[in-house]
Each structure stands twice: as C-alpha cells, then as structure tokens.
Amino acid sequence: MDKNKNQNKNKNINFKSLKIKDLVISPPLLLAPMAGLTHSALRTLILDYGGVGLLSTEMLAARRLPAENMALSPFLVKTGRETPLSYQLLITDSTEVQPALEAVHRFGADAVDLNLGCPAPRVRRSGGGSSLMGDIDKVRTIVGLARQSTELPLSAKIRLGEAFNEQQLCNFCQMLEGEGIDLLTVHARLRKEPFCRRPHWSWVGKVKQWVSIPVIANGSIFSVADAGKCLQISGADGLMIGRGAAQTPWLFADIGREIYGVDCPMYQISLPTMYARFICSLTERFVAERQLGRLKEFTHYFSVNYAFGHTLAVAVQTADSVRQAWQRAVGFFQRNDPEGLESAEQERAQLEELLAGGEV
C-alpha cells in the first residue's frame, strides 16, 4: 500500500504549469519546430491523443513572412484546434524583425520563438540559425527589437555552441534573458553534432543555474524513460519533443500521463488509422503541390514503428502522387498489419473518397 502511494507521489512530483505572460503551458511539453513536419496535419494528429502544452509552426523565414498568404501557405495553414501555437522565426537581419512580428500578430500567434540554433548549412550561410550564436551583439539587437515589437511571450531556441565553453554559453544565455526572452529552449548538442550523438542533458542543467527564466530541454526524447531521465539529469522546467513526435504522435500523452500526472485517455493505437487520418488532413488543408513532400517526410519517421518499415518508407518515397503513395501503403499494411488496416475502415473510406476527387 505504501509503495503504491510513493509511486503515485513520484509520478506527479514534477508537475507544474508554466505561465509566460498570459500564456499557460500545461503540461510543460512543447512541440519542436521541424522543417516539413511541424505543420497542421501533424499538429492535429498529436492533439488527437493529447498531452501537448504548446504547439509550434515550422521554421518561418522572417523576410518572407509579411507576403505569405495564410490561406494558402503550407507553413501557415491551421485549424481552430491548434492552440496555443508558437510561431518560430528565422531571422537573418534586424531589419526583418518588426515586419515579421506584425505578420505573426495578424496570423493570431500565441507566442513567438527565435531560431538561434538551426545548424543546417543553408541556414547558416544566410546568416541565421546557429551562426547567430557567434555574434552576440547582432543577437542582442535582434532580441531587443523583437521585445520592443511584441507583447507576446518571446522564447528562443539554441544549441550549446561550437564547443563546450561555459563562460561563452553563460554570457549568451544571460544576454538573452536581459534583452527580454521569457523562455529558453536548449537543444543539448553542439552545433556540429549529428542527431545520432547522445545529447548532453547535464549542460541544460548548467543553463538553468545561470538564468531565472524557464529552461526547456530538447534532444533525443523518444520515450517516457527518456523524458524522465532528461528531467532528472537537467532539472529542466519542461521538455521539447521533435522527431519523437513525428515517430509516435501519442508520445506527449504518454509522458503527460506517466510523468506529469495529466489525465490523458488511453487509446488503442492503430497505425493504419493514424496514417490515413494524416493523409486526410493533408488533402483537406494543403494545396495539391504541397502534399506529397510532406507525406514523404512524415513517412520517414512513421515507418520506424514497423519491423520492416523501411520498405514502406522506400515505397512512399518513390511514389509520384499521394494516391499512389496511399495505395502502396495499403499494400504494406495488408502484409504487415492486417488487423490495423481493418480497424481503419472508416478512415480508409473517407480518404479514398477524398483522393477520388482529384489526382494528387
């Protein structure tokens, strides 16, 4: 009896909502911005299971944002369910700040995030992402202008830098707080470290000691066990989940339930049902030319749920249309998950009706 009481106590010991200005993030589980992935179709799939406290857009190029059409842009399309929603900005020059923030205000953002950590060479060549961490004065100007231009919660996402340097990282993080950043997410890897390298969660703990604003840990959280270990090592105020969310969209619910004591329903997971729902969302919300690429990107992660999932990924990657990709996926499910496919009868019928309306 006493053992069960202790287990229940430990289950809820870390729970607390984060309140940033008027925004409540509860539970403190955030979706990471991911190019080609963190769009409306994935966001609503995650919401179907619950447990996410703050959603995110994909990385948005600040210089293009003022001219984007919210009804047509694959980066901006959303449903009324997708709230609270943070808009992540890729800023390369201070002149982009005010016009971009005026745009996100029009779009109805709940929060704004500044991308200071993307290591992609193309992004760095443009003067954005992790390249900004090497120019503290430029970042100070950008953050200061952003703080002057919005009353929304303002966050930033960083990596640990080029090399382990406590003083340099401490100065950078304290500068961000001093210029008005409300919440800081730390991807616990150095700029050049690939995803296959283990994250340095203990360094998130160092950052937490240096600043008084909430610090969120990010990097290689694929399970409840990963989440618990990361929180134990880092002492972070919450977690940001990226690739794990695309791989298992119910991960937020599992972590919310098991670690934060959130009342998330237990669902019977049917992977074919989930896949069909995802494609339905793509075909209903995105213009035709923006659907197939996003389906291929999602399938790369989704397919790891199967022992022979690489065959599904290859089949979809080589498809010429969404219709062909779905047909190939059905063939894969028939061979590898017939019970799951049978349970997806309703979603399958809905999707095939949508696809019959036009070749995509």
Q: Round to whole Å and give the CA distance between 181 and 147.
A: 8
What residues does 215 pair with on adjacent strands? 184
Q: Round to whole Å and give the CA distance between 154 and 132.
A: 17
118 is catalytic: yes
Of 118, 173, 230, 264, the active-site residue reads 118
Q: Round to whole Å and give the CA distance between 47 and 53.
A: 10
State the burial class of residue 167 (Cβ atoms within 10 Å of its Cβ: 0-12, 13-18, 19+).
exposed
What residues does 25 pair with on adjacent strands? 18
CA-to-CA separations, 341 to 153, 269, 347, in angstroms, rounded: 43, 12, 10
3-state secondary structure of 186: strand
Q: What is the DSSP string of 261-325?
A: ---PPP----HHHHHHHHHHHHHHHS-GGGTHHHHHHHHHHHGGGSTTHHHHHHHHHT-SSHHHH
Structure tokens at 78: 């959303």
Q: Round to whole Å and give the CA distance between 36 and 318.
A: 17
Whether 120 contacts 129, CB under 8 Å: yes
Q: Round to whole Å and give the CA distance between 126 and 113.
A: 18
Q: Round to whole Å and give the CA distance between 183 and 181.
A: 6
State the burial class of residue 67 (Cβ atoms within 10 Å of its Cβ: 0-12, 13-18, 19+).
exposed
Residues involved in catalysis: 118
